[in-house]
Structure 1
């Protein structure tokens, strides 16, 4: 799924920041990136999240800061929802967007912004917050979304201060991740990602995936590796293991049953890839949970 370049504050030429609520049956955005930094809190929803080269399951109550131009998507398909879920709002979030260049220029008139610039540079890998920092940041984010214009700036400064001092976070994309996507790849890679998201629990044939991109197998493998910085097999296994982690955490099922549910016909392969990606065997992970 090729990320689309998006203009978040388009038409708001004089605006430095903006807040938005999203309240839908499901998240519908394409894999995309934009100049603006984004702080998003998921109120409700679950599915697969891609940030740079990070592929993980997401659930409600996650708070993530994205720096400039890092490709991302929160994906949950409408067809995976039951009738009752479709009737209710299933995907809800609140987000803060800000132009980093305009913000730094504005704040540099009042204080040294070096620390903030370092934080925003780090955020180009995606940052997931936890603990007390997450609670403080999401409280300020909600207040900003509901505040009058004059109060928003004060809340923004408080929020930025927490970003500059907290150590309670986890980086998501790899240290060497670089956005190498091109606009011409959009439709082609979008089809591929959605196919993998929706079929990871079944046998996936490389020829079928390559056909979606109108390429032969060899050309597609080179194309996919150049864009995602990982092989198709690595990408599929990350989706499957992310689902396995969710299932192990959520229900008391046998490891073998979870392996088959996530698309593995061999328990030994499941154990191998689970340990490769998480650093633990499935049994050790389950015991820890």
Structure 2
């Protein structure tokens, strides 16, 4: 997918940016930037796209997104209903890889951090005890004065770099850059698909959203995402099914149809292909 360049503002008094975002919903925009992004999603649930990876996000997630890697967070529909007590909150750090000098990461002591930032070019999810440790460090970083900011960021990256509680997300770190006009086109496809994947979306319908002919759409979409549109919809539906199974409010048959599948046997087949588990085993294993 070809995203839009985002310019990250950094004040003249700081060498990198750290902030806390509190808003009704997350960010709903496919974008990239040269800064590395470290994010703790404090509250919020929805769909996350990093590179060519499509997953759910939830309260507590910690992610490291490398330089120029496109990404997109879209909150669940319920966050768009304007409920006054429902907020999406995240602590977000942006920093250039060389903000502490061209040679700093090439010091022998910093080799693990340099390796980590190379991995982050495909996106990283941090889990386990490391996730909780990073959450605490980022909370301190929000209010840290002076050079303590740099020390805390360094400690945070070192903590992740020395941990095995990390998962690489995208199969690639190489994505083309495009104009703002084409980024708007891609974002229309994403937004429409995420809002409507629970029902059948015809080729003519999504081609009209993209403002291209039906004959051109499939080639257009695959050239930019490295997957077919039907594969993209399937991953959205499987991700939604995973969320519903973990909530445990619906039967597995209900989850099947609520996720946009019209055939229960196909649901079981595709779910196992993508997760390695049947829906029932997935629910039992992850809820336990």
Residues matched between the structures, number: 285
CA distance in 2 between partners of 1:243 and 1:48 (Å)? 8
Q: What are the equivalent positions in structure 2 for 1:126-145 lying under 5 Å apart?
A: 126-145=123-142
Q: Quickly say closer, same or farther: Cα 1:203–1:145, change in 2 above 3 A.
A: same
Q: Tell me whether 1:182 sits opposite 2:157 in the alignment.
A: no
The aligned counterpart of 2:284 is: 287
Q: Tell me whether 1:100 sits opposite 2:97 in the alignment.
A: yes
Q: TM-score if structure 1 supplies the norm length?
A: 0.91
The aligned counterpart of 1:274 is: 271
Q: Measure how far apart 1:92 and its partner are.
A: 0.4
Q: What are the equivalent positions in structure 2 for 1:65-84 lying under 5 Å apart?
A: 65-76=64-75, 81-83=80-82
RMSD: 2.1
SS across alignment from 1:146:
coil
SS across alignment from 1:30:
coil
Q: TM-score if structure 2 supplies the norm length?
A: 0.92
Contact kept in structure 2, 1:26 and 1:78, CA below 8 Å: no
CA distance in 1 between partners of 2:105 and 2:21 (Å)? 32
Contact kept in structure 2, 1:44 and 1:91, CA below 8 Å: yes
Q: Measure how far apart 1:28 and its partner are.
A: 3.1
The aligned counterpart of 1:212 is: 209
CA distance in 1 between partners of 2:178 and 2:19 (Å)? 28
CA distance in 1 between partners of 2:277 and 2:224 (Å)? 28
Contact kept in structure 2, 1:2 and 1:190, CA below 8 Å: no
Q: Deviations over 1:190-245 (max 9, x none)?
A: 11100000001111111110111111223111111111111100000100100100
SS across alignment from 2:100:
helix
CA distance in 2 between partners of 1:138 and 1:10 (Å)? 22
SS across alignment from 1:263:
coil
* Contiguous gaps of at least 5 residues in structure 2: none
CA distance in 1 between partners of 2:205 and 2:19 (Å)? 39
- Of 190, 193, 198, which aligns to 2:190? 193
Contact kept in structure 1, 2:45 and 2:76, CA below 8 Å: no
The aligned counterpart of 1:51 is: 50
Q: Quickly say closer, same or farther: Cα 1:200–1:153, change in 2 above 3 A.
A: same
Contact kept in structure 2, 1:65 and 1:126, CA below 8 Å: yes
CA distance in 2 between partners of 1:29 and 1:81 (Å)? 11
Q: Measure how far apart 1:2 and its partner are.
A: 4.6
* Contiguous gaps of at least 5 residues in structure 1: none
